[in-house]
Chain A
Amino acid sequence: MSDDIKVKDGLRESATFDRLTMHEIRRAAETGIYDIRGFGAKRKLPHFDDLLFLGASMSRYPLEGYRERCNTSVTLGTRYAKKPLELDIPVTIAGMSFGALSANAKEALGRGASIMGTSTTTGDGGMTPEERGQSKKLVYQYLPSRYGMNPDDLRKADAIEVVLGQGAKPGGGGMLLGQKITDRVAKMRTLPMGVDQRSACRHPDWTGPDDLTIKIQELREITDWQVPIYIKVGATRTYYDVKLAVKAGADVIVVDGMQGGTAATQDVFIEHVGIPTLAAIPQAVQALQEMDMHREVQLIVSGGIRNGADVAKCMALGADAVAIGTAALIALGCNHPMYDEEFKKIGSAAGFYDDYHEGKDPAGISTQDPDLMKRLDPVVAGRKLANYLNVLTLEAQTLARACGKNDLRNLEPEDLVALTIESAAMARVPLAGTDWIPGHNF
């Protein structure tokens, strides 16, 4: 029965207990356990679509598209590192683990990013030779679990990212379920095959920001102060977290909003913890500005970045670069309609698949199954990612030129207005057609 017929027949669905809610109640009653899934938040949140650019007309002077240059390069880690990371575009690939992703997917990410002169990031599980081999610029994550962590890989990295939290699950750890644990993954993580691999929610050998300062110094000492140290936080108390991260000595701060993806965690965590990416950026920028560290400590923003407009809006709000995770996987082929029949066989559909933890991904991306993995050609997929990164960059440049900017980092909040009161308040830009920023000028 279609929805139209139901309405015609006078049937009315409850707004509180809609069909999805009822389905989840039944699922919980059947299994007795919460839903674990991947992907990011699926509820509608205030996002970058709620902002608009003010293209130049009379009072501003635009730049000529296809004629006048608009710089996209960015240097990360200028505060302390002897070798800051030079990126050709301000779009980086976020940390995603080998284990959660197939080796081919990790290789494809490295290939695509390297074509475009940007960086990729390891994840929970350590650095693979393939990943290091294909990524010209590789950020090594120092995670609470310390799976696969070793000083040799640390010294091979172009930057180190101390992960304190993730936008999808601030305050939570991860879980790589046993069905995805191949012999190689088990060895890398020093755990038996088939065991559910819990990733800790906190680092085991320090307990607060003062300890973190010393921990960062240790990492710098081990790497002879060569490479930048990032601190990644899930967006929650962003203003305070950024201030403490600066105090602890971060070269770069990564703020991951609640639209950020994950390989596997509780649905209730993904949908109910953290703040939207849009709301986190002004808090982070305010903290940096108050410490006179904006641009001195670079800010990377992630969590639901989809297109060049999102990139440009992040930068206008004060970010130095963005990181993409879920979007990069979609560029590789995640949830591709060509596998719709196979998605249906495992109880999902193309565009809806989020059971990354089950290891049955028909697209060969979030799996360790050798046969499924083979479906993803890392060369072809890497080229697609490069194309996508190129489009993000071109789109962002187009918008920047329209605002009269010859560098993406010259975009500023003054170039933006908001469509809704909520987004105006969160982004701290005026409601369109007014000079009103809720909470700032009455």
Chain B
Amino acid sequence: MKTINLQEQSVRELNQLLHDQAAECTEREWEVLEPKGAHNIACGIDQSLSVDIKGHAGYFCAGMNKHAHITVFGNAGQGVAENMMSGTVRVKGDASQAAGATAHGGLLVIEGNAGARCGISMKGIDIVVKGNVGHMSCFMGQAGSLVVCGDAGDALGDSLYEVHIYVKGDVKSLGADCIEKEMRDEHIEELTALLNRAGVDEDPSKFKRYGSARQLYNFKVDNASAY
């Protein structure tokens, strides 16, 4: 295992070493010590690496990740796993706002709570949150799934496209064009698989499903009051 202490080396040095692994992979297991909330840790990785961040991470941790499996043993700041393409990002603590924003693929697991706009404009990522999510989560979400084992804040799924949302707890309010939908067998299957992948022990039958009513997909003047 390769160990980097961010009090001794810079984020730039760490990221360059991780990026170099895409050209020649010499070390698959990495450990980052004393991150102390530094921003942009382990972003832009393009290799199947395992990276353990032993502490709190700042903004945009694991941004645009491809292939790597990154674990934050602490809290993560704004935009964790922003625009992730594949791989896995797991946050053992809480995540700030815009977790998984615009991400195209991979799995983001937040074992604590996530702040506002979790999964905003998500484009194919799967996100599993063991705790609660804040307001405007999944705003303009395009594809993928958001699983919330706790409660969801205001305006969940506002202006949603094709994201599947599963919430076990209470939803404070639904956003424009977001509705509760029937939980059919295929959805139970999908949710079960997501929970298994995330390593979360929850009963899929206790969740409700939400999705787009698809009434705002094309602008009609009759819908103007919804905007």
Contacts and interface: CB of A to CB of B under 8 A. Distances in A.
Interface residues of B, number: 43
A152 B59 CA distance: 21
B43 A205 contact: no
B59 A150 contact: no
A151 B22 CA distance: 13
Interface of A: 31-33, 145-146, 149-152, 154, 175, 177-178, 189-192, 194-196, 198, 200, 204-206, 211, 214-215, 217-218, 221-225
A205 B39 contact: no
A31 B220 CA distance: 10
A214 B161 contact: no
A198 B64 contact: no
Given A175-B219, A221-B12, A154 B140 contact: no
Question: What 7 A-B pairs are tightest by C-beta distance, nearest first?
Answer: A222-B44, A205-B98, A146-B102, A205-B79, A205-B101, A151-B64, A204-B120
B135 interface: no
B60 A218 contact: yes
Given A194-B218, A214-B39, A221 B82 contact: no
A204 B98 contact: yes
A191 B101 contact: no
Contacts of A224: 15-16, 19
A234 B15 CA distance: 33
A31 B219 CA distance: 13
Contact of A214 (B15, B59, B102, B159): B59
Contacts, number: 113
B121 A200 contact: yes
A424 B66 CA distance: 53
A154 B217 CA distance: 30
Contacts of A217: 39-40
A388 to B, nearest CB: 36
B94 interface: no
B32 to A, nearest CB: 14
Contact of B101 (A192, A204, A223): A204
20 contacts: A145-B121, A146-B83, A152-B66, A154-B64, A178-B218, A189-B142, A194-B217, A195-B161, A198-B140, A205-B98, A205-B120, A211-B59, A214-B40, A215-B60, A215-B79, A217-B39, A221-B63, A222-B15, A222-B44, A223-B44
A204 B137 CA distance: 11
Nearest to A34: B221
Nearest to B98: A205
Contacts of A214: 39-40, 58-60
Contacts of A194: 217-218
Interface in B187-226: 217-219, 221, 224
Contacts of B224: 33
B178 to A, nearest CB: 15
A146 B43 contact: no
Contact of A151 (B39, B44, B161): B44
A154 B83 CA distance: 12
A152 B221 CA distance: 40
A96 to B, nearest CB: 21
Contacts of B104: 150, 190
A200 B58 CA distance: 25
B43 A218 contact: yes
B39 A192 contact: no
Nearest to B159: A198
Nearest to B105: A150
Most buried by B among A31, A195, A218: A218
B162 interface: yes
A32 B161 contact: no
